Amino acid sequence: MKFIDEAKIYVRGGHGGRGCVSFRREKFAPRGGPNGGDGGKGGNVIVKASGSHHTLLDLKYKQHHIAKNGGHGGGSNRTGKEASDIEIIVPVGTLVKNAQTGELLADLIVHGQQHIIAHGGRGGKGNAWFATSTNQTPRYAQEGMQGEEYWLLLELKLLADIGIIGLPNVGKSTFISRISAARPKIADYPFTTVVPNLGVVRYGDNESFVVADIPGLIKGAHEGMGMGTRFLRHIERTSVLLHILDISSEDYVDAWQNYEIINKELFNFCSALMEKPQIVTINKIDLPTTKERLKKEIDTFAQKGIEVFEFSAITGEGIKSVVNEMANKLLLSAADRSGKGG
């Protein structure tokens, strides 16, 4: 299924039904009082998060979502039928914003979480409400209230524990396919990955965490270069970042320089990303060129107080150590957040 993480839609709650103008006309009460009933309430538009949805594709092609109007009131004080609500199903992690003002209306981060995004109008009162001692035969009733209406921006931010970052073609997709059941497209050219890939990593007895392969990060990404900021926002919800570096290519640039390129893009996009724990790794240690350069690169990072983990996504060497470090960092991150919350 095509991955779509943005959509613009129009929503409108149903209008309330109008109240009724009616009078009693029984055989023995020819001049009976007013008995017009109220109109029914219009339906609400509800946005609901579902763990079984992973894209906003459906909403890209169905933009208008209008709830039904309430029924009109009737004689004998009969209230009009209340209209049913309609639900818009979105993936977990969807932000709902007012398209005009940019105001955040809902942030749906749990399966089943829902929010009334456009309230239906209240039904109008029938003429029975307006009878008084001086006006015993009111010949008017209220119109129903109009439902709320908005143009909305829906923005999906993937919910993952760990975000995998790095320049194109460093082996992110191969790595995620090695540690999880995810099967992303893999080839030897930049931007093989054009959508984020999610994978569930299982470790220990019954433990697991979710990783996301974030594509398209290059120098200038925060300004729209490459795939620009389109996927940078998916990193914002992650707890830990796994930074994969590659030093095997012929046009070799030292790992520290590439490390700084990516981190500068993260900072320019959202400075808070720099506060996330980051695991630094070097991939492709099965290649002779990587083996030749590895010690020098590890020493460079060590001088700056950064530990580097080495692995090969092809052979599997070192991957267990990387997964263990990911799990440890997640536990520390959770403990740190818990401490701050307390």
For residues 283 and 187, state if they share a domain. Answer: yes
For residues 136 and 231, state if they share a domain. Answer: no
Cα-Cα end-to-end distance for the chain: 42
Please report whether residue 43 resides in a domain: yes
Please say whether the beta carbons of 239 and 328 come within 8 A.
no
- Which of 183, 302, 314, 323 has the alpha carbon at shortest distance from 246? 314
In angstroms, what CA-CA distances link 62 with 39, 58, 65, 292?
Answer: 30, 6, 8, 55
Q: How far apart are CA 325 and CA 341, in angstroms?
A: 24
For residues 133 and 209, state if they share a domain. Answer: no
Please report whether residue 1 resides in a domain: no
For residues 177 and 143, state if they share a domain. Answer: no
For residues 217 and 134, state if they share a domain. Answer: no
Q: In the prediction, which pLDDT does 98 show?
A: 96
> What range does the domain containing 274 cover?
162-341
Domain boundary (156, 176, 205) is at 156
Q: In the prediction, which pLDDT does 255 show?
A: 93
For residues 207 and 325, state if they share a domain. Answer: yes
Domain boundary (122, 140, 156) is at 156
Please report whether residue 148 resides in a domain: yes
Whether the predicted model's global pTM rises above the 0.85 cut: no
For residues 37 and 133, state if they share a domain. Answer: yes
Please report whether residue 144 resides in a domain: yes
Please report whether residue 140 resides in a domain: yes
- Which of 95, 106, 215, 244 has the alpha carbon at shortest distance from 159? 95
What CATH number should be reported for the domain holding residue 37? 2.70.210.12
For residues 189 and 226, state if they share a domain. Answer: yes
Q: How many domains does the chain have?
A: 2
In angstroms, what CA-CA distances link 277 with 62, 120, 167, 237, 303?
Answer: 40, 45, 19, 13, 19
Please report whether residue 131 resides in a domain: yes
Vertex 262, ends 259 and 266: CA angle to 5°?
130
Domain boundary (135, 156, 177) is at 156
Alpha-helical segments (H) within 112-250: 172-179
For residues 312 and 231, state if they share a domain. Answer: yes
Please report whether residue 59 resides in a domain: yes
Distant-in-sequence, close-in-space partners of 329: CB < 8 Å, separation ≥ 6? 240, 277, 279
Q: What six digits make up the tokens of 29?
A: 């009460």
What CATH number should be reported for the domain holding residue 174? 3.40.50.300
Q: How far apart are CA 324 and CA 18, in angstroms?
A: 65
The tens-digit pLDDT sequence of the chain (342 residues) is 456 778 999 999 999 999 999 998 777 766 678 999 999 999 999 999 998 888 888 898 899 999 999 999 999 999 999 999 999 999 998 999 999 999 999 999 999 999 999 999 999 999 999 999 889 889 999 999 999 999 999 998 877 899 999 888 888 888 988 998 765 444 454 444 456 777 889 887 778 898 988 875 656 544 555 444 566 777 888 999 999 999 998 877 789 999 999 899 889 888 888 999 999 999 999 999 999 999 999 999 999 999 999 999 999 999 999 999 999 999 988 887 666 654
For residues 240 and 286, state if they share a domain. Answer: yes
Q: What six digits make up the tokens of 80?
A: 């009009």
Q: In the prediction, which pLDDT does 222 show?
A: 46
Q: In the prediction, which pLDDT does 158 show?
A: 78
Please report whether residue 227 resides in a domain: yes
Distant-in-sequence, close-in-space partners of 207: CB < 8 Å, separation ≥ 6? 327
Please say whether the beta carbons of 244 and 166 come within 8 A.
yes
Task: Give the orientation angle of helix 172-179 with respect to helix 319-341, to 10 degrees.
Answer: 90
- Which of 40, 97, 34, 28 has the alpha carbon at shortest distance from 72? 40
For residues 86 and 219, state if they share a domain. Answer: no
For residues 200 and 320, state if they share a domain. Answer: yes
